Structure 1
Amino acid sequence: MKPVRLPASATLALPRWGLIALCLLYILPGLVRRDPWKTDDAAGFGIMWTMARGALEDWLSPNIVGMPMPHEGPLAFWIGAVFIRLFGWIMGDAFAARISTLIFFLIGALSVWYAAYLLGRRSEVQPLRLAFGGQPEAKDYGRTLADGALLIYLASLGLLLRSHETTADALHISLIAFALYAAIRLFDASAWRSALVLGVTLGLMTLTRGWIVPTALLAALAILAVVRNKSLLVPLALATLPATLAVSAIWPVANHYFLPPDLSPTDEWLLWNKHQFGSMSWESTYYLLKNAIWFSWPAWPFAGWAVYAWRKQYTALHIVLPCTFLASFILLVLCNPHAGEENLLPLLPPLAILAAFGLPTMKRGAINAVDWFAVMTLTSCAAFIWIGWIAKQTGWPAQIAKNAFKLAPGFKPEFNLMALLIAAAATIGWVMLVLWRVSRQPSVLWRAVVLSSGGVILCWLLLMTLWLPWLNYGKSYAGVAQQMVKKLPATSSYCVESNVGPSQRASFAYFGNVQFAEGNERNCRFALSQDSVKNKNAARNLKQFEGKWELLWEGRRPSDRDERFRLYKRMN
């Protein structure tokens, strides 16, 4: 027997404008006025920026002003570079690159919504018919479940920062969500067109972040087809697989024909892919258990309950297909020797969709517990953000202000009226949402997650309005790059040898227009060294630069007590 018994009143869908507003409130803060930060964000932007300013070789061989970056794949950076070329002259290169991030997020959000909607309309998912009627229509029920899946997706803590960065991860997770949608269409209607779309998606996924995940998904779907419907093996073999291979081959083939063999990144890219899969280890298992709990909150409790509640209908597509994706990704995390949050990102779309089917069966007490946890935790977080901002502006409370300035020495607070008004309006909206949830006690299914998603959006919006200048000061290399460039010639007729990392190289090139040496060039007038403040023997770090050098400048980001940069000039 189906575990769901609902009246039609429980399936009132969120208005379209409400969903759109939530998505925009989620993604737009953090794209505007934010510098590329000291993370993969700056490195990804550096690749896009280099492509946009470079020649065909830069597009085919991803690099950061001469530093090869053959890992992952070029697709996300191609798209970002196109937007820099189109709009960089109007809105600045950094913001233009983030238009691609906005599009990636919308693709992922729409894919999650439509995937849950298709599964929610299926006959085996529908609630039991009530004795006197009044059960929801299939479309209304599907739309309500889709709303719930999208809210859970937005509330996922692991998605928050990654979805705002100019990296391949932002596109990768969206393509995974779209691949799940395409797989649902294939298993639902056995259409060759859906098989072809799935193949193209897997191919684009390969160009985004390698072939390990697409290969695992294709193998998992083939196994599922054997179990559910063997006839699906034909479109998978004759449409999905060829389309995947054809799209995946675009970049390697272009490298073969347009780049010299010694400049082609294909071999290093294939080697990087190979190193993403190995044998299971205790370290990878421990990493998954330690981080997946917070990374996928609040999706995993609802998803776990959905699997339990629908255990007697475990062969139903709305359970078995997301679980197939989920099992594939968990296996890849366990077999990946390199721990990282980017390995956990693929878990979020199938978890969000699976979690949506746990909403109709959860007890009221469990739903209230999740809601109160969200209210208490996220309200406290928002209150701390406000108190911290007041402390930075006024000096009270003194201890909080002292701690804030201690983490960012030399920071000078700035007042932005527009940011304050936006933050105040978002806070008032949060209070009204909590009051509506507490006083009305609505019966709609998505009530269990609307506070979680609303609270996450509030906290992120407050950080990206009230605290953005402080965060830019601490996480951006703009200040230190502008200090160093004063010691360099005003012309571009020089080059700088360097050992700095990808994020630092991209930031110094973008903010300071530093002319870094390309390839193995070793006759530059200047050298930029990156080391630790704890390193007492700076001369040892100079051994990698041939010749004798004179120290011109030394500096670091005020918020980083360990990292140090030194600029040297060659002594003739």
Structure 2
Amino acid sequence: MKPVRLPAAATLALPRWAIYALFLLYILPGLIGREPWKSDDAASFGIMWTMAQGGLQDWLWPNIAGLPMPDEGPLAFWLGAACIKLFSWLLGDVLAARVSTIFVFLLGVLSLWYVTFALGRRQDAQPLKLAFGGQPAPDDFGRTLADAASLIYLGCLGLLVQSHVTTAEPLQVALLSLLLYRSVRYMELPSLRNAALIGLALGLMVLARGWLAPAFLLLALFLCAQFLAMPARRTLRDLAVAAAVGALATLPWLLPAVLSHGGAQLAAWMQWNYAQISLPSLQSLAYFLRVGVWFFWPAWPFAAWAVYAWRRQTRVLHIVVPVTFASMAALLALFHPAPEQGQLLLLLPPLAIMAAFGLLTMKRGAINAIDWFSVMVLTLCAAILWVFWSAMLTGWPAKAAHNALKLVPGFTPEFHTPAVLVAFCATVGWFLLVHWRLSRQPAVLWRAVVLSSGGLILVWVLAMTLFLPAANYSKSYATVARQAAAALPAGVGCVETNVAPAQRAAFVYFGKLPFGKPGVDCPLLLLQDNIRIEDSQELAPQYRAPHWEQIWDGRRASDRQERFRLYRRVQ
């Protein structure tokens, strides 16, 4: 027997304008006004900017001002470079590149909405008919589940930062949501057309971040078909078609890239793919459990409950598909030799779908407990942010001001009216949302997660408005890059360097330093080192005096260890 009894009153969907406004309110803060920081985000922007400023060779094999970046794939960088080409005249290069981030986010969250809607309106997912009628219509039920899955997805802590960067991981997880949608359509109507569309999604994933994850997900598709008792021979034929279409989708990049660069770049890309998998270890398991507890919150408790509540329905599509995909994504994370948060992103879409079906059977007491937890914790976080921002400006409370400013030594806080106004409006909106939820006690299904999503958005908006100048000061290389550019002698040919990709991107964009390709001897040298380590231990012999003469040194004011030094070659 199905574990769900639900009246039609519980399936009122969110207004379309409200859910789209929520999507934009989630994704826009953190994109506007934020400089490229010292992370993979800056390196990815450097690749996009190099493509936009360069020629065909730069588009075929990603690089940062001549430094090859054979990892992952070019698709995310193509999107960012195309947006720079189209919108930089209006938005500037940095914000124009992040237009692609908005498109990627919307692709992911809308695909998630539609796949949950498709699963929710199926007959095997419908709640039991009530004795006197009044159960929801299939489409209304599907829309409510889709709204709930979207809210859970937005409320996941692990998605928050990752969805606002220009790296390939957000594109990969968005394409996974698209693959889930195409997979459900194929399970409902097996055909070569649907198999080909699955293959297209897989090919795009290869172009985004390599072939390993698509290979595992293709296996997950076959397992889904077997769990649902679909004919194995036809399934293998269709998945072979999908694999062939996916391979064909990569040829417009791989074929000209290999013909123009030979096999070296392809070999490096393949080596990166092979390096993404190894035998599971205690380190990867400990990382998965330790980080996953908060990374997948609040999806994982609801998802776990869904598996338990629907345990007697072993061959229903809305449980088999997300459980199989989540299990395969978990295996990918556990088999990774160097665990990182980007590997965990692939679990979020299937967990959000499972969590939406878990909401159906949650008791009112559990839902109220989650609401109160969200209200107390997230309101406290928002209050702490306001207190620390006020302390930075006024110096009171003194201890809070000291603790905040010691993280950004040398930073001078200023009052920015537009940012404070946005933060104030978001705070007022949060209290109105809490008042609506606690006073009206709505019966709608998504009531259990609206506060979790809304509170997380509030905290993110406050962080990306009140504290954005301090974060830019702490994490951006713009100032030190311009200082290095001012110290360059006139008529310099090229600059040799050992800086990391993120720093290289910042120096070439903000300082316009003419870096040479690796292995090329240049008259100038920019070194990145640690101020606490002696040169005799850190610097290679060819970079020491008397071969080089130092003409400039500098560092970010917020970093006490990292240092940059500019040298001129001694003839």
Query: Residue 338 of structure 1: CA displacement?
Result: 1.4
User: Residue 236 of structure 1 aligns with which residue?
Assistant: 238
Distance in 1 between residues matched to 2:56 and 2:425, nearest whole Å = 47
Distance in 2 between residues matched to 1:249 and 1:293, nearest whole Å = 40
* SS, match of residue 242 in structure 1: helix
Map 1:212-223 to 2 at 5 A. 212-223=212-223
Amino acid paired to 2:23:
C
1:514 is aligned to 2:513: yes
Query: Residue 192 of structure 1: CA displacement?
Result: 2.7
Q: Is the 8 A contact 1:75 1:207 kept in 2?
A: yes
Distance in 1 between residues matched to 2:223 and 2:440, nearest whole Å = 47
Distance in 2 between residues matched to 1:227 and 1:132, nearest whole Å = 35
- Residues 195-235 of structure 1 show CA distances to partners (whole Å, capped at 9, x for unaligned) of 11110000010011010110001112112223321165155
* SS, match of residue 552 in structure 1: strand
Distance in 2 between residues matched to 1:93 and 1:560, nearest whole Å = 26
User: Structure 1 residues 540 and 111 mapped into 2: Cα distance closer, same or farther (>3 Å)?
Assistant: closer
Query: Residue 494 of structure 1: CA displacement?
Result: 2.4
Amino acid paired to 1:560:
D
Distance in 1 between residues matched to 2:536 and 2:42, nearest whole Å = 26
User: Structure 1 residues 113 and 317 mapped into 2: Cα distance closer, same or farther (>3 Å)?
Assistant: same
User: Structure 1 residues 139 and 544 mapped into 2: Cα distance closer, same or farther (>3 Å)?
Assistant: farther
Map 1:113-512 to 2 at 5 A. 113-228=113-228, 229-230=230-231, 232-233=234-235, 236-261=238-263, 264-489=264-489, 491=491, 493-512=492-511
* SS, match of residue 311 in structure 1: coil
Query: Residue 420 of structure 1: CA displacement?
Result: 1.1
Q: Is the 8 A contact 2:529 2:538 kept in 1?
A: no
User: Residue 526 of structure 1 aligns with which residue?
Assistant: 524
Q: Is the 8 A contact 1:185 1:191 kept in 2?
A: no
Distance in 1 between residues matched to 2:259 and 2:405, nearest whole Å = 54
Distance in 1 between residues matched to 2:83 and 2:536, nearest whole Å = 41
Q: Is the 8 A contact 2:36 2:94 kept in 1?
A: yes
Query: Residue 250 of structure 1: CA displacement?
Result: 2.9
Distance in 2 between residues matched to 1:139 and 1:239, nearest whole Å = 32
Amino acid paired to 1:230:
P
Query: Residue 86 of structure 1: CA displacement?
Result: 1.4
Distance in 1 between residues matched to 2:465 and 2:431, nearest whole Å = 18
User: Residue 4 of structure 1 aligns with which residue?
Assistant: 4
Distance in 2 between residues matched to 1:389 and 1:149, nearest whole Å = 34
- Residues 4-24 of structure 1 show CA distances to partners (whole Å, capped at 9, x for unaligned) of 101110111110011001000
Query: Residue 368 of structure 1: CA displacement?
Result: 1.1
Q: Is the 8 A contact 1:497 1:545 kept in 2?
A: no
User: Structure 1 residues 430 and 235 mapped into 2: Cα distance closer, same or farther (>3 Å)?
Assistant: farther
Q: Is the 8 A contact 2:51 2:59 kept in 1?
A: yes
- Residues 453-479 of structure 1 show CA distances to partners (whole Å, capped at 9, x for unaligned) of 001111111111111101100011111
Amino acid paired to 2:541:
K
Equivalent pairs, count? 568
Q: Is the 8 A contact 1:105 1:163 kept in 2?
A: yes
Distance in 2 between residues matched to 1:132 and 1:535, nearest whole Å = 78
* SS, match of residue 243 in structure 2: helix
Distance in 2 between residues matched to 1:211 and 1:161, nearest whole Å = 25
User: Structure 1 residues 89 and 517 mapped into 2: Cα distance closer, same or farther (>3 Å)?
Assistant: same
Query: Residue 451 of structure 1: CA displacement?
Result: 0.4
* SS, match of residue 406 in structure 2: helix
Query: Residue 237 of structure 1: CA displacement?
Result: 3.3
- Residues 259-280 of structure 1 show CA distances to partners (whole Å, capped at 9, x for unaligned) of 344xx41110001101111111
Distance in 2 between residues matched to 1:376 and 1:370, nearest whole Å = 10
User: Structure 1 residues 333 and 393 mapped into 2: Cα distance closer, same or farther (>3 Å)?
Assistant: same
Q: Structure 2 stretches of 5 or more lacking a match? A: none
Q: Percent identity?
A: 55
* SS, match of residue 280 in structure 2: coil
Distance in 1 between residues matched to 2:313 and 2:198, nearest whole Å = 26
Q: Structure 1 stretches of 5 or more lacking a match? A: none
User: Structure 1 residues 85 and 66 mapped into 2: Cα distance closer, same or farther (>3 Å)?
Assistant: same
Amino acid paired to 2:529:
D
Query: Residue 185 of structure 1: CA displacement?
Result: 0.6
* SS, match of residue 357 in structure 1: helix
User: Residue 558 of structure 1 aligns with which residue?
Assistant: 557
Q: Is the 8 A contact 1:360 1:445 kept in 2?
A: yes
Q: Is the 8 A contact 1:46 1:506 kept in 2?
A: yes
User: Residue 567 of structure 2 aligns with which residue?
Assistant: 568
* SS, match of residue 401 in structure 2: helix
Larger displacement relative to structure 2 (304-313 or 548-557): 548-557
Amino acid paired to 1:339:
P
Amino acid paired to 1:511:
F
Distance in 2 between residues matched to 1:81 and 1:450, nearest whole Å = 35
Q: TM-score, normalised by structure 1?
A: 0.97
Q: Is the 8 A contact 1:307 1:314 kept in 2?
A: no
Amino acid paired to 1:519:
P
